[in-house]
A = this chain, B = another copy of it.
Amino acid sequence: MDTPDDHLTRPLTIYDVAARAGVSIASVSRVLNGRNSPRPETKERVMAAVRELGFVPDGAARALSNRLKEVVGVVFRRTSEILDDAFSDEDESLLFADVINRGVEVEARNRGFDLLMSSVDVYDHSPHGRISSIAGKSDGLILHDQVLSPVGIVRIAQRTPVVTLAGTPTPSSVNVRSDNAAGMRELTRHLLVDHGYPTVAYLAGHADSPDNVARAEAFELVVAEVGIEGWTGEIWRGNYMASGGAKVIKDILARSLPLPRAIVCANDQTAIGVMYTLAQHGVRVPEDVAVTGFDDIPVARHLHPQLTTVRQPIHKLGATAFDVLYSMISGEGRPEPEVVLPTSLVVRGSCGCQVESVPPWEVSYR
């Protein structure tokens, strides 16, 4: 048989397998790929040799020869930042990107593709090299929001299939996003119409994020429709992170500014920071101030009160991104420039509604 330390020696190739099975390398390859129906007996001999040797074909050689790597690159943004002199790692942020990635992974798996992952740091001012490296190792790219500038995307999309998530379509890349506007409209109406709250603020995310822009616009629209004025502006600017939401509330309280009756946060994480800070200062949620999120990340239902938010089909977002990319890779013609997935309002306690509790773990993101 083999010695234990074989991997220190030259790795096995199909030549080794062929020699052992007493056939040619072509036959080995054919058996391994199930093409051209080799005779059962030949097939068996090859399989036996493969088994005995523990042979695993080299992916690079395979990819080089048939121009298909069966790998899709996923680039996401790593959020870690210096906050108040303390290094803080927003691990909650894991959730959103990672649920998407799992969605991609599941779908990719169905097609025999694997995921090549790489993150881009916030500080990273030239992620191009990194992304090019991924591009060279994969058949197509899925880019999360905020990982590459629009021009960068256009550049790379000219040479390889690209799907963006929560971005904007370009002439050569497709975008997949969820229906921010509809979700935000439904949520804001719930607050202003169903609950009849007289004042409401929108605590923004990154100003340049398409998601944030769409959410803010829908918010403004409903507010105007109802005939009141939404509180926005510089002081209500967050950064999609809990720390950002916390800072906004701290600032407002420190300056003794009034609080609105309801705070609509750009995403769930921001709401986490807001709710925590309000509680610290003795402001009750939802009795004094209602708070809502956006995304419905898993932790949302663990908060007290449980968070009313807009559910994005996070898992499906990823799955869809892969499907679209796959159709581009296999050259079935480029689909429409943008795919929009529906959102839905998830009413829990933080908006002021009374709802019975559901075990936080009995939920599906599919």
Query: Chain A residues in contact with chain B, CB under 8 A?
Result: 2, 4-8, 11-12, 54-64, 69, 71, 78, 83, 86-92, 94-95, 98-99, 101-102, 105-106, 109, 112, 114-119, 132-138, 155-161, 171-172, 241-243, 246, 269, 272-273, 276-277, 280, 298-299, 302-304, 315, 331, 357, 359-366
Contact = CB atoms under 8 A, between A and B. Distances in A.
A62 B160 contact: no
A134 B56 CA distance: 10
Contacts of A362: 83, 86, 88, 243
Contacts of A5: 158, 172
Nearest to A120: B109
Contacts of A54: 155-156, 158-159
A357 B254 CA distance: 20
Given A115-B118, A276-B359, A99 B91 contact: yes
A92 B159 contact: no
Contacts of A86: 362
A159 B7 contact: yes
A59 B6 contact: no
Given A4-B171, A94-B95, A366-B89, A64 B60 contact: yes
Contact of A365 (B4, B64, B89, B95): B89
Nearest to A75: B114
B59 A137 contact: yes
Contact of A58 (B7, B64, B95, B98): B64
A159 to B, nearest CB: 5
A98 to B, nearest CB: 5
Q: Lowest 4 A-B CB distances belong to which pairs?
A: A59-B137, A60-B63, A242-B361, A59-B136
A114 B114 contact: no
Nearest to A276: B359
Residue of A12, A117, A158, A276 ringed by the most chain B CB atoms within 10 A: A117
Contacts of A91: 95, 99, 298, 363, 365
Contacts of A109: 118-119
A337 B90 CA distance: 33
Contacts of A172: 4-5, 7
A362 B69 CA distance: 41
Contacts of A118: 105, 109, 114-115
A159 B6 contact: yes
